[in-house]
Every structure is written in C-alpha cells, then in structure tokens.
C-alpha cells in the first residue's frame, strides 16, 4: 500500500511547498477587490520564516499541553499530506479507509488546538474553543457524506478512488458534492462567511482567538499548518469539480494545479463580496451544505432521476 516513487512523492512535496502560496493568491484577490496593491504573493513564506527566527514567550499559567498543541497539530497535518493524492499523482499512503484516518487525524489537530487554547485559562480562548468544537461537530458529518458520495462508484473508502486517479463519479453528484465541499472548506479553515481571518476583534473570532497566545516558532507551525489544511481541503474540492480522466498524468496535474489557483481566487472573491454571517446563522449554512451532500449521495446511488 505504501508506494514511494517519484510521482507519489510529488503529491506531499507539492503540498508542503505550495500551500502558503494559496493564501497569497487569496490575499491578492482580496486586495484587488479592495482597490489595494496587497501583500506580495509570497508573503506567507516570509511570515513563517520570520516567526521561526523568533523566540517564544510562554505564560506561567500554561503547561506542556500548551506547547504540545502546535507540534502535534502540525505533525498530524503532515501525516494527512501523505494520504492525499494530487490528481493522478498517487498518494504516498493509500489503503481502503484512509479517508477515515484523514478525518481522525484532523480531529487530533482540532483536539490539540482546543486543549492548548483551554490550557491558557483565558475566557477568549475558551469561547473560541467552544465555537470551534460546536461548528466542527456539524461540519464533520457533511465532509464524510461528501467523500462517501465521491468514493461510492469505486466501492472503496479511499482517496485514490474518490478524488485520485480511480475517480469514477458522474457529473451531477460530483458537482453537488463539490459545492458542499466548498462550504466545508470555508468552515474548516476559518474563512468568511463563517470566520473572519483578518479581524482583530477577539470577541468575534473562532479559530484565530484559540491561537492568540502562541508566538514565535509555535505560531509559525500553526500558520504553516493552517495553510496545509487549506491546501488539502482545497484539493478535495477542486478534484470533486474535476472528475476527469486525462490521457496523460501531466495534463491531469496541470488541470489540478490550475484548479488550485481558481479555488484561491474563488475564496478571495467570496471573502470580498460577502459579509460574515452572524454566529447564530452559521449552523443554517452548514445545514445547507449537509443537504447538498445528501443529495450528492442519493444521486450517486441512482436514487435521483
């Protein structure tokens, strides 16, 4: 099942190397809509390097849990990268049920982020943690149903067959799942309209407030981890919209890469033209995504005309 070759090694390498670029594309798009020049495309890399060179400051009320949070989270996300194929480029690790492992690894990321936040004892971080846990409990099943629909035709719960070279899903369920996955991506990655990554107002934050007390290399890990997570979710959404069987692996890779650029622009556009939802309304948005995901599953099963 573990097949390490040049082409499979490329999938995680691309993720590790290009993930911060995706945030750069989003920032550029937002700057365009705001009539600004915006930060350089590679700003996220500079930020991460800058943070890595800094020292960290720890509150005396925190314990090892607080320090473990960013490290464990990044570790789990790196493991996620091994499971993810980049289009026709296979994944390093692939087996039936790897989707479940992926979901559980993300749960580990969330768990450690949340307990590191709670470890500070700050009411802000507690509030953020509470919101994060509430919303992710709603997002997780939607995500699983989407992947169930995508992997249905291959009869295996495996990324390779759901969104990789083994994808066989037809157009309608793929599109339905794709739209649901875009909502999942926005919610899981603390993007508008669910969360506002640019706000400085602690009381309104969800994800950002949980990491307020981290600094230096820890925060570099968190920032890099966040861009990896966005990359992985973006990739899943792109592949749902691109169930293609290209003649050549490299055409497929090219299309997927173009798709990643497009998804960055789409996120940036959504963030520019909509206001953030009230927190009370977020479950309604997620319920809409759940409905789409269920329709995708039904359509894939042939239950819909």
Residues in contact with other proteins by CB under 8 A are 30, 33-36, 123-124, 127, 192-193, 196, 198-204, 212, 271-281
Question: Whose Cβ is closer to other proteins: residue 35's or residue 55's?
Answer: 35
Q: Which one, 53 or 200, has the nearer CB to other proteins? A: 200
When the beta carbons of 99 and 222 are compared against other proteins, the nearer one is: 222
The least distance separating other proteins from the CB of residue 272, rounded to whole angstroms, comes to 5
The closest of 86, 83, 102, 96 to 7, measured between CA atoms, is: 86
* Minimum distance, C-beta of residue 229 to other proteins, in the bound complex (Å): 20
Min separation Cβ 116 and other proteins, Å: 19
CB of 275 to other proteins, least distance (A): 4
Instruction: Identify which of residues 36 and 50 has a Cβ nearer to other proteins in the complex.
Output: 36
Smallest separation, CB 261 to other proteins (Å): 20
Q: Which is nearer to other proteins, 75 or 215 (CB)?
A: 215
């Amino acid at each position: 099942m573990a097949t390490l070759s040049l082409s499979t090694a490329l999938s995680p390498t691309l993720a590790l190397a290009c993930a911060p670029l995706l945030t750069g594309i989003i920032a550029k798009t937002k700057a365009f809509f705001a009539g600004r020049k915006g930060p350089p495309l590679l700003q996220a890399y500079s930020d991460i390097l800058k943070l890595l060179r800094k020292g960290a400051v720890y509150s005396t009320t925190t314990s090892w849990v607080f320090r473990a949070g960013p490290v464990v989270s990044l570790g789990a996300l790196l493991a996620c990268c091994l499971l993810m194929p980049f289009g026709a480029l296979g994944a390093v690790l692939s087996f039936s049920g790897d989707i479940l492992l992926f979901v559980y690894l993300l749960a580990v990321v969330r768990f450690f982020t949340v307990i590191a936040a709670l470890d500070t004892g700050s009411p802000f971080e507690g509030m953020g943690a509470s919101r994060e846990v509430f919303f992710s409990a709603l997002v997780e099943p939607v995500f699983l149903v989407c992947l169930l629909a995508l992997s249905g035709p291959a009869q295996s719960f495996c990324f390779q067959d759901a969104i990789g070279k083994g994808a066989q899903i037809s157009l309608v369920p793929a599109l339905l799942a794709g739209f649901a996955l875009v909502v999942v991506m926005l919610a899981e990655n603390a993007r508008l309209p669910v969360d506002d990554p640019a706000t400085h107002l602690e009381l309104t934050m969800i994800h950002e407030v949980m990491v307020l007390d981290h600094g230096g290399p820890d925060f570099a890990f968190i920032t890099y981890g966040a861009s990896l997570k966005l990359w992985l979710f973006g990739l899943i959404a792109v592949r749902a919209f691109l169930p293609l069987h290209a003649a050549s692996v490299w055409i497929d890779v090219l299309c997927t890469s173009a798709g990643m650029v497009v998804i960055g622009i789409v996120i940036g556009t959504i963030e520019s033209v909509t206001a953030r939802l009230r927190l009370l309304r977020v479950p309604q948005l997620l319920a809409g995504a759940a409905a789409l995901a269920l329709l995708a599953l039904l359509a894939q099963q042939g239950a819909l005309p």
